[in-house]
Structure 1
């Protein structure tokens, strides 16, 4: 090979490595933005927008989704964190920190001459064994009255005892069966209000006021109608109104609409929840009849109210049904309250499915937002623990699993073993960061924890962030949901592999789809 060919090949290698280094630096920057929040001694981050609005938070996914990130690799990490939050509701910081470690360690191996394909092969082998080991060490959590339930909430809730108590009470009110429902999220029951008192109650909150002050403020033993539509007469085109037949049809529709409203009143309905707008005629008739009406209710709140009260959502055309048929669509609640100060309607003691609401309050808007995020994390963790069991926290499990993954290296031939080393390093990264945030030397303390786990044959040993001593996380009540660990590691592996597979970055030209492309003529 000539000197010119060697130089050309070397330049190509350097160009590909430069792309890897650029992506690696972007991922590391994202990880460094959240790693300081990890663990009980983690600190808060202040996010400031161009208008001077401030958000102070310790929540990883909030930091990631609100921070300005223009690099494509950085956005990939943020999307993975968002997916982790959507799926599990917690563990985004752990996933991001491990992803940063995997990518950084992987790029270092590639820079030393290990082919990317071999690094990825080692990633897959190591992560596969790690996921198996996490599943093997998971302990079931079936009894919602067990003290471990509160410990899970307390750890995820950053040691806020009042929030942990609220979330546990809500979980017990709802019950295990509901928590196992894949379509239900306990975190969705969290509502935050500035100046509100912390409480949990069996019911739902509608974040809207009644249409006017003449409507009653409190009703008991209430029949409830949920209209998944606008409460307005059927429309008729303007052109048709100019004809005699069209005007006659208009009058007919108006009369029919008034008759439908009267049917709602005659059924003894006390509360009407409407997805969209309410016509003036309906407002007037229902107000005169002493019916509470709330319009433009969020679809999520509408569904929860229907589920809790046993109501069946109906369209406005369905109001043509007979009173006997309409009766079947009504739900029932023990009490409905209009809270003027909070501008909400509370629907309590519904006769449908159990539905608890966690109301979190604080003195200021900034603090109440953070308390709501903490409560959502705690709620998500309890639900994940019920679904998939619990494991020792504080980085203890990941450290123990790293020892299992090290054994995989012995059975792997060739350079893929270096990819396994990257997984070992990533698994130890959460504990290292927790220790560093607590003010201790990570290298020293991880060595102590590894030795203690091996000597005592206990996977639950880790570092006490107050004293620096090695303690049993299970006995100390530091517990995490197994699903959080599984999804965090899986997400970290996916993003790391995706980043390492990119060896060229090319800027796209502006692209507009040609007319007619994408569908058959």
Structure 2
């Protein structure tokens, strides 16, 4: 049968596996130079002309718009790594690519992909067991020690990012932010980030509460007070505008006086609501819906601050910070429904005004205000901090760490080589290939920094053979060092997740030996079927003959 026997695009067998491997290789090539402290950034321009400069593997791979079906698997593992652990997105793609690259010669020599998959899975289990053995547990009872550990994990994550020059400043900020969260569920969504163009990186702030940009404001806003100490805060999901009542009903009238009554009634309804809000004792009123100009002026006269059209995410964080509950009516509002914070103020930041709610008693939330010269730059700072926040969360939840900088990978490569000796048959070669794949990460670290990778890897092999399990690449001094002592630390979970995800992806891609691309139209499919006409009627030598 020809390749196009049913109007579909097919490729199969060994050639298919090889072409899938080559496709994945090209994705890995793009990402590999972003790895490590000396990694380069990528500038990606999307179809709408928006440009993004990033060093974050998951961000780059999302923006690449990869079409090849097998290479799309790499996008999935990068996203999964980002969602699960937050960091190690470049490494996971690199490792999966290296596993595929080393599988290529086996496929060319007609080794069945099933054997490769079996060997890789076996090696993966051995590697994960080994990490659990050597990972160093962290003591939680000493808060000072715990804090310094978290800061080291955060700064290791920032080593390869744009904010490397300020990593001490930002690692403190990230650890403060994570320690402010509810320690039970550590929900990273409770850390708000706001990007404010202008100023330097060091002007970034961490607010122990909520800060958001001044919302759309009506006439009378200027007369409202702009700061309070210990104010009572009322959160609403309610519109305080005149037009609301009129829009909701159809009224037929004969006399002008009747119309006047309707207008008066509308004002009465609005003022009743406003009187109830004022009577509740709230000093700050925030609403998800609009607060109109009549209401704004009413509040200004009574020295109450009001802001309408507050974003839902900010309102949710206000609930978490102040202990207030969002009200959908102003009837029966009591003190227990109101929240409070130590200080409210409106301040100028860059070219915009921001509302700050700080010193919140219930605070299980905080806000990072990031500053920088350009929007591109701040967006990349935000992505870098997201990685660091996730790493600190993981270190708090799973208290075991390993050394970074290629140390774990070299250790695993050596361990698997030892283990391979005990495995008979072809699987031994597959496990050896898997062991070799780990060396791709320290090799890439060296290449990106401009070091002689062969020389460095030889030194690392020697150190690991001598039992130094934490020997890794020392980027600062172009040599090899004990990365556990040099405080290049990562949560063990990053590595276990990375290895499992990369192995799964490689095995999935190796298992595919046939691609069928379905034709767009069924009639096209019909007409291409041998012996069948476009209308589904059989044709050929016998068509039309009567027997």
> Fold match, TM over 0.5?
yes
In structure 2, the partner of 1:264 is 277
Q: SS of 1:156's equivalent?
A: helix
What is residue 60 of structure 1 aligned with on the other side?
57
Change (3 A) 1:237 1:222: closer
Corresponding residue for 2:453? 442
Residue in 2 that maps onto 1:428: 439
Say if 1:183 and 1:27 are closer, same or farther in 2 by CA, change over 3 A: same
In the superposition, the TM-score normalised over structure 1's length comes to: 0.85
Tell whether 2:305 aligns with 1:292. Answer: yes
Q: Match for 1:307 among 320, 329, 348?
A: 320
2:495 pairs, out of 478, 481, 485, with 485
Instruction: Describe the SS at the equivalent of 2:79.
Output: helix
- 1:191 maps to which of 190, 194, 218: 194
Are 1:76 and 2:86 matched, yes or no? no
Deviation at 1:50, TM superposition (A): 5.0
What's the CA shift for 1:229?
5.8
* Structure 2 gap ranges (5+): 2-9, 523-547
- Counterparts of 1:235-250 in structure 2, within 5 Å, are 240-242=250-252
Cα distance per residue 1:61-112 (max 9 Å; x no partner): 2211222322222332112212221222211011111111122223332222
1:218 is the counterpart of 2:222? no
Q: In the TM superposition, what is the alpha-carbon distance from 1:126 to its structure 2 partner?
A: 1.1
- 2:144 pairs with 1:149: no
The residue aligned with 2:357 is: 347
Structure 1 residues 260 and 199, CA, compared in 2 at 3 Å: closer, same or farther?
same
Deviations along 1:132-184, whole A, 9 cap, x unmatched?
22222222343553333322222211273534433424524653873552534
Post-superposition Cα deviations, 1:236-259, rounded to whole Å, max 9, x if no partner, equal: 886754499xx9999878745542
For residue 525 of structure 2, what is the aligned residue in structure 1? none
Measure the CA separation in 2 of the matches of 1:203 and 1:256: 34
Task: Identify the structure with the greater helix proportion.
Answer: 1
CA 1:23–1:296: 2 relative to 1, 3 Å: farther
* 1:385 maps to 2:395: yes
Q: Please say which of residues 96-105 and 292-301 is displaced more in the overlay.
A: 292-301
Where 2:144 maps in the other structure, the secondary structure is: coil
Cα distance in 1 for residues equivalent to 2:234 and 2:132: 46
Shift of 1:393: 0.6
* Equivalence for 1:462: 472
- Please give the secondary structure, in 1, of the residue aligned with 2:53: strand
Matched, 1:17 2:14: yes
Root mean square deviation of aligned Cα: 3.1
User: Residue 463 and residue 231 in structure 1: after superposition, are their counterparts in 2 closer, same or farther (change >3 A)?
Assistant: same
Q: Would the aligned equivalents of 1:274 and 1:297 in 2 still touch at CA under 8 Å?
A: yes
Structure 1 residues 109 and 352 mapped into 2: Cα distance closer, same or farther (>3 Å)? same
From 318, 336, 340, the equivalent of 1:328 is 336
Residues 237, 423 of structure 1: CA spacing in aligned structure 2 closer, same or farther, 3 A cutoff? same
Distance verdict in 2 for CA 1:14–1:342, change over 3 Å: closer
Matched-pair contact (CA < 8 Å) for 1:21–1:107: yes
> CA shift at 1:445, angstroms?
1.8
Deviations 1:458-483 (A, max 9, x none): 21101222433221001112112222
May I ask how many residue pairs the two structures share in their alignment?
493
The higher radius of gyration belongs to: 2
Map 1:48-197 onto structure 2 (within 5 A).
48-50=45-47, 52-141=49-138, 142=140, 143=142, 145-146=144-145, 147-158=148-159, 160=164, 162-172=166-176, 175=179, 178-179=182-183, 181-184=185-188, 188-196=191-199, 197=203
> Normalising to structure 2: TM-score of the pair?
0.81
What secondary structure is seen at the aligned counterpart in 1 of 2:475? coil
The match for 2:426 is: 415
Question: Alignment partner of 1:323: what SS?
Answer: coil
In structure 2, what is the Cα distance between the partners aligned to 1:231 and 1:511?
A: 54
Listed as ranges, the gaps of 5+ residues in structure 1 are 5-12, 513-521
TM-fit CA distance, 1:228 = 4.4
Paired position in structure 2 for 1:515: none
